[in-house]
Structure 1
Amino acid sequence: MADHHNTPSPQPDLNRNRLPTLFEVLSRRTLPPVDLFSFYIYMRDQQRSVDYLDFWLDVAQHMSLCRHYVRELRRSVLVGTPEPGDRPGSKRSSGLLEGIGDMNHPAAGPSMYASEKERDQDAQMSAYLREDRPGMHESPQSSQDPVPTRPSTRPSPNVSNSSPRNHTTDSNSPAHTVARQDIRASAEKILYTFLLPGAEREITLPGSITQDVTTAIEEFGRDDPEVFDVAKDYVFQAMERDAFPGFLRMKALGNLIPPTLIMRLIVGLIAMFGAFWTAFVLIFLNASRTTRLWLILPFTVGVYTLASYQYSLDPVLALIGLSEYTPFNFSRVREPYVRKLLVRRALMVLAVTLVVDVALCVLFILVPGKRL
């Protein structure tokens, strides 16, 4: 049985005096508005490429399944009670198991971020899973000539998620145990959902990567985590390059989403048109300055909403610590560094708004009237 308490849970870094990295967001080490939930909504609603993020999350979950499965077997070997699925007849398998170590690293990240120890442990784990493939020990062809395990039918998993899935549960097996068939099913689900041509949620990868993964899973029966490494790293770099900078600009430097910004632009232009039209009418009617004081209202509304559009930031919402994630739905800003950034920008936007608003009001209120 997998002991979840032995694996440390990712903890947000409350002392981080910088913007988070994509890996920190994906490994749940950040707080709103730069958390994984917000990034998922950004990829779904703004970037329109949430399938790439789902692929990453599924591969990370596959790695977690493999780690728990190998940890369970290793624990059973060390206490001398092999579990079903362990093949004690293979001395090489037992040796690989004993040499892997505890694998206590909490998150499955891109290969370039792994420490030397993590890389070694993951490589040994993959080697064990390749050695442990069903049929490898019963077949006389064994490891020299693996028997292809192409399934006769391809599953069509229903994965139409609208929010990030909970990837903390490691298996559908009873009592959180991980069976060998869980790992195989997980690898096939990823292949059939995201990688094969015409798949339900096919993502665009270089053809060589897709072909290599397909061949490894369907023809050689592999389901170890290394089979997805190249694809996983490619998707991570694509998100880091194409999506993550825009996410940080929207969430760490602003607190409004595009539909709301468009609405504020429209409201601001209408308010400014109304303010200028009314101001010129009152001037040419020689209205009193007391009457023209009412121009403060449309000018203030217009300048405030246009400034919010220009900076993608509502300063009042920023000062009270709110950030918009879907239209008119707000979350509390809990990431300390982002909160400081937004407060500083809010004060700057308020200062700009005040200067422009005062200048326009003074100009059109104090200018002498002339009746035409």
Structure 2
Amino acid sequence: MSKTPSPVPDLNRNRLPTLFETLSRRTLPPVDLFSFYIYMRDQQRSVDYLDFWLDVAQHMSLCRHFVRDLRRSVLVSTPEPGDSQRSSAILQSLGDMSHHAGPSMFASEKEKDQDAQMSAFLREARPDQDRPDRPGFHDSPQSSNGPRPRPSPGISSASRDITSDSHSPAHTVARNDIRASAEKILYTFLLPGAEREIILPGSITQDVTTAIEEYARDDPEVFDVAKDYVFQAMERDAFPGFLRMKALGNLIPASLIMRLIIGLLAMFGGFWAAFVLIFLNETRITRLWLILPFTLGVYFLASYQYSLDPILALVGYSEYTPFNFSRIREPYIRKLLTQRAIMVLAVTLLIDAALCVLFILVPGKRL
């Protein structure tokens, strides 16, 4: 039985991180969750999928926090007959539930069993108006049966504070908070015409809608299929491009276009000046100035070709938004970028030297 990895980043990881490690905040810049969020927002244009995943993870955290509070209260109280004894037994068997929310394919058997028991407990023990004295539950101002009025979709809690630790809510969680969280996810991301609707297979959307609106479910299992589908979509379509940008390069597309333009202008200026100096029969000493435009042009074109600024990489910086840089703190990424930076510099120097030698040493001829 595997043990869930610690949320503390693994500094000894001698490989590229996985998507699950990034989403679980076990990685460091430039492959951390914040950088992935910026990539999904600015490059992939599909940040709603990531917000959906993070909101579902937050919903799971609320459920665990709620059940942990109930478990502590049950352990210090005397169980009552009937359903309360059954609920107490389920709560006591759940354990601390300290693992991170993730796709079902990465969960251990113990974690799957705990999540299934928690969902079963939440389905069985819905708060009812006719039972306000049910032990361990917060009072509910409205019945759980039947559809709720739709809340106004707002900015995702994950996007408001992408770096916060959502696994430890600071306040006591009421059952209504869980219900409101499930409805917010449904009405913000899943229903047709929602403000931030994500495209899922119709059967998945219909199953989630029916479970929440008709069966008044708010347990985490409601979103399991949708969550796994979104995870696999991000892992297949978005994460490889993110790793290519951040693990093999340190520049964003806007910066690359700017470097391409500057590089082409510098090369044009270098070739123009070289031919002018040659046909004016200027001395080789004068033609040494050609080193400047050729070096600048080759450097910027190489940066564009490899999506890497070698000097920035050697000093340990990566660009995440235009003209904003962060330190490269992931050790394996730092080593990988350093090796690529040395290679890019070698290519730059070789091409630059060849151009300079050719246009400086060629004999001049005045026309």
Indicate yes or no: 2:154 matched with 1:158.
Answer: yes
Alpha-carbon distance between aligned partners in 2 of 1:137 and 1:222, rounded to the nearest angstrom: 18
The one of 274, 281, 293 equivalent to 1:279 is 274
Instruction: Name the amino acid aligned to 1:157.
Output: P
Contact 2:126 / 2:144 at 8 angstroms: preserved in 1? no
Deviations 1:284-318 (A, max 9, x none): 11111011100000000000000000000000000
Cα deviation, residue 136, structure 1:
9.3
Residue number in structure 2 paired with 1:41 = 38
Cα deviation, residue 157, structure 1:
3.1
Deviations 1:111-140 (A, max 9, x none): 00000000000000000000111239859x
Residue number in structure 1 paired with 2:72 = 75
Residue number in structure 1 paired with 2:91 = 97
Q: Describe the SS at the equivalent of 1:197.
A: coil
Contact 2:127 / 2:144 at 8 angstroms: preserved in 1? no
Instruction: Name the amino acid aligned to 2:267.
Output: M
Cα deviation, residue 187, structure 1:
0.4
CA change 1:269–1:81 in 2 (3 A) is farther
The one of 204, 209, 220 equivalent to 1:225 is 220
Residue number in structure 1 paired with 2:120 = 127
Residue number in structure 2 paired with 1:197 = 192
Instruction: Name the amino acid aligned to 1:158.
Output: G
Contact 1:111 / 1:119 at 8 angstroms: preserved in 2? yes
Contact 2:34 / 2:163 at 8 angstroms: preserved in 1? no
Number of residue pairs aligned between Structure 1 and Structure 2:
352
Deviations 1:5-59 (A, max 9, x none): xx99610000000000000000000000000000000000000000000000000
Residue number in structure 2 paired with 1:108 = 101
Q: Describe the SS at the equivalent of 2:58.
A: helix
Contact 2:263 / 2:299 at 8 angstroms: preserved in 1? yes
Alpha-carbon distance between aligned partners in 2 of 1:136 and 1:117, rounded to the nearest angstrom: 34
Residue number in structure 2 paired with 1:3 = none
Alpha-carbon distance between aligned partners in 2 of 1:354 and 1:114, rounded to the nearest angstrom: 50
Indicate yes or no: 2:236 matched with 1:241.
Answer: yes
Instruction: Name the amino acid aligned to 2:95.
Output: G
Deviations 1:212-270 (A, max 9, x none): 00000000000000000000000000000000000000001100000000000000000
The one of 111, 124, 141 equivalent to 1:118 is 111
Indicate yes or no: 2:166 matched with 1:168.
Answer: yes
How much identity, in percent, do the aligned residues show?
Answer: 80
Regions of 4+ moved over 6 Å:
none
| 1:289-308 superposed matches below 5 A | 289-308=284-303
Contact 1:252 / 1:342 at 8 angstroms: preserved in 2? yes
CA change 1:23–1:136 in 2 (3 A) is farther
Indicate yes or no: 2:20 matched with 1:27.
Answer: no
Instruction: Name the amino acid aligned to 2:212.
Output: I
Cα deviation, residue 279, structure 1:
0.5
Alpha-carbon distance between aligned partners in 2 of 1:63 and 1:87, rounded to the nearest angstrom: 29
Alpha-carbon distance between aligned partners in 1 of 2:314 and 2:252, rounded to the nearest angstrom: 17
Instruction: Name the amino acid aligned to 1:24.
Output: E
Contact 1:169 / 1:176 at 8 angstroms: preserved in 2? no
Residue number in structure 1 paired with 2:204 = 209
Cα deviation, residue 200, structure 1:
1.3
Contact 1:40 / 1:163 at 8 angstroms: preserved in 2? no
Deviations 1:309-349 (A, max 9, x none): 00000000000000000000000000000000000000000
> TM-score, length-normalised on structure 1?
0.90
Residue number in structure 2 paired with 1:187 = 182
Alpha-carbon distance between aligned partners in 1 of 2:274 and 2:82, rounded to the nearest angstrom: 89
Unaligned segments of structure 1, at least 5 residues: 1-6, 140-145
Residue number in structure 1 paired with 2:355 = 360
Instruction: Name the amino acid aligned to 1:166.
Output: S
Alpha-carbon distance between aligned partners in 2 of 1:12 and 1:288, rounded to the nearest angstrom: 59
Residue number in structure 2 paired with 1:143 = none
Instruction: Name the amino acid aligned to 1:90.
Output: S
Contact 1:311 / 1:349 at 8 angstroms: preserved in 2? yes
CA change 1:331–1:165 in 2 (3 A) is closer
Alpha-carbon distance between aligned partners in 2 of 1:11 and 1:35, rounded to the nearest angstrom: 12
Alpha-carbon distance between aligned partners in 1 of 2:105 and 2:347, rounded to the nearest angstrom: 44
Residue number in structure 1 paired with 2:47 = 50
